[in-house]
Amino acid sequence: MTSPSADKVVPLQALGGLVPDGASVAFGGGWFANHPMAAVRQLIRAGRKDLHAITVVGSVDMDLLAAADVLGHLSFSMVTLEAFGLAPNVRRTIESGTLPFTEYTGLGMLIGLEAQGRGMPFLPYRGPFGSDLPARYPEIYATTNCPFTGEELTAVRALQPDVAIVHALRCDAEGNAQWDGTSGPDVDMAKAAKRVIVTCEEIVDRPVIVENPHMTKLPGYYVHAVIEAPFGAHPTSHIPRYAMDAWQLMDYAGQAGTDAITDYVARIRSESEDDYRARVLTGRGDVLAALVDVAETLEGANL
């Protein structure tokens, strides 16, 4: 076990060395929120291949990884670009047979992760009624009975990723990670994984963490590496720092299903994360932060 006083901070450029080819990697976030996009871009720059990605509700992160030919397998309950349409590169690679996949129900995946985090071989739940997934994946789902009532339940096998990558608001050097909003599936993923990498908006001194203990959703003893990555969820949102970047998402969606995606991926490969931020956030970062403030004002207004 790592010493509690250990400094776990590494640069983003070290990520490729922490995630080997062929690893199973759980990516945090859901819908258009909290995806560890700086890490996704860095894995592409590092030339990673054959990753088994695990996502509950994937988004532009999974589609970009598919476009960059990083994925060797995809376990998911949904991948969507929401209002901007389907995820064309995930769809293309699955339909062509070049991307093997495992489909979970959303709750089933969360229960599998929770089982592993609790040190259990499986956990039962009621459902998924009417779904053909249990019959399709007998290595994941099984029928069991409650020992007290005899009720028939569905058992979900524990799911253990090699690595979990999640994006938090802030961390200290020991890896104590804080969120000031939804953390989605991130904590369950981290507790289930063999190794945990946290990217965060900022690295702070320990007293800042101690002053806000209610925000520490992932204690440092779970975490193996911490990476400071401002706007690390962009173009998805990270509340309360910034809203999703609809302009950038529209730009991606417009290119994702066309030959232009090749140039899009090549540009990601060729630039550093600092270059990326300078290119897409100059003059826009403040706007994305202001959108959060406006939303909070509207939500609190008596309309």
- Residue 294 is assigned to a structural domain of this protein: no
The average confidence (pLDDT) of the chain is 92
The domain in which residue 28 lies consists of 24-105+160-238+245-285
29-66 tens-digit pLDDT: 998 999 999 999 999 999 999 999 999 999 999 999 99
Tell whether the model's pLDDT for residue 1 goes beyond 60. no
The CATH number of residue 173's host domain is 3.40.1080.10
6-23 tens-digit pLDDT: 799 999 999 999 999 999
- Residue 302 is assigned to a structural domain of this protein: no
pLDDT at 2: 46
Structural domains of the chain, count: 1
Element (H, E) at 164: strand 163-171
Place of tokens 């979900």: 156
CA angle centred on 82, ends 76 and 88, rounded to 5°: 65
User: Is 223:274 a contact under the CB 8 Å cutoff?
Assistant: no
- Residue 263 is assigned to a structural domain of this protein: yes
- Residue 271 is assigned to a structural domain of this protein: yes
- Residue 101 is assigned to a structural domain of this protein: yes
User: Is 112:137 a contact under the CB 8 Å cutoff?
Assistant: no
Report which of 101, 157, 156, 148 is spatially closest to residue 128, judged by C-alpha positions. 156
Q: Angle between the 60-67 and 37-45 helix axes, to the nearest 10 degrees?
A: 10
CA distance 77 to 57: 6
- Residue 6 is assigned to a structural domain of this protein: no
pLDDT at 5: 58
Tell whether the model's pLDDT for residue 300 goes beyond 60. no
CA distance 168 to 232: 9
222-274 tens-digit pLDDT: 999 999 999 999 999 999 999 999 999 999 999 998 999 999 999 999 999 99
- Residue 8 is assigned to a structural domain of this protein: no
Q: Can you give the pTM of this predicted structure?
A: 0.92
Report which of 25, 24, 34, 36 is spatially closest to residue 184, judged by C-alpha positions. 34
Task: Using CB atoms within 10 Å of the CB of residue 69, give its burial: 0 to 12 exposed, 13 to 18 middle, 19+ buried.
Answer: middle
- Residue 146 is assigned to a structural domain of this protein: no
8, 57, 76 from 155: Cα distances, Å: 36, 21, 18
Place of tokens 């929401």: 82
